[in-house]
Amino acid sequence: MKEKIKRWIGDNYPTKESCQEMCGVACDRLMAEFKGSGLQITFGYVVLENEKEIDHWYCKLDGEIVDPTAAQFDYPIIRYVEAGTEEFEKRKEKYRNVRLMTQKELKEIAKRNPIIDSILKSRNKKEGV
């Protein structure tokens, strides 16, 4: 399974340009493609070699990181920090003005991006919204 996932990532997000700022969309697509595989979508942030911290969506499979858009960063990823962990909460406290996108903001982006629009409609249909 892991080899199939790696191939899928290589086929769909082979370059920095193809995956830049696409982490949420790429994770949703990956989850849809490998439904029932045990993949779990995760939100948190990555710490890069240059010590920059960037909010990021990624997946996990059997406790291992599966990141379809890791190639988007200019520096290597040193570690992933999952939302809800003590380290994540400390960072959240440090950056109180950082917040997740509201549903209204997401709808505005969806108006300009057909892929995100499609994902939102799919999620809303599943949730009965």
Do residues 67 and 38 touch, judged by C-beta distance below 8 A?
Answer: no
At residue 56, what are phi and psi to the nearest 5 degrees? Answer: -160, 140
- What DSSP letter does each residue of 97-125 carry, written as one string? T--PPPHHHHHHHHHH-HHHHHHHHHHHH
73 and 127 share one domain = no
119 and 82 share one domain = no
DSSP 58: E
- Tell me the longest C-alpha to C-alpha distance in the chain: 43
pTM of the predicted structure, to 2 decimals? 0.68
Domain range spanning residue 87?
2-98
22 and 45 share one domain = yes
Q: Give the per-residue pLDDT at 99.
A: 46
Rg for the chain, CA atoms, rounded = 15
Q: Give the per-residue pLDDT at 97.
A: 45
Each residue's pLDDT expressed in tens, for the chain with a length of 129 residues:
789 999 999 999 999 999 998 999 999 999 999 999 999 999 989 999 998 989 999 999 999 999 999 999 999 999 999 888 787 777 766 555 444 555 666 677 777 777 777 777 776 666 565
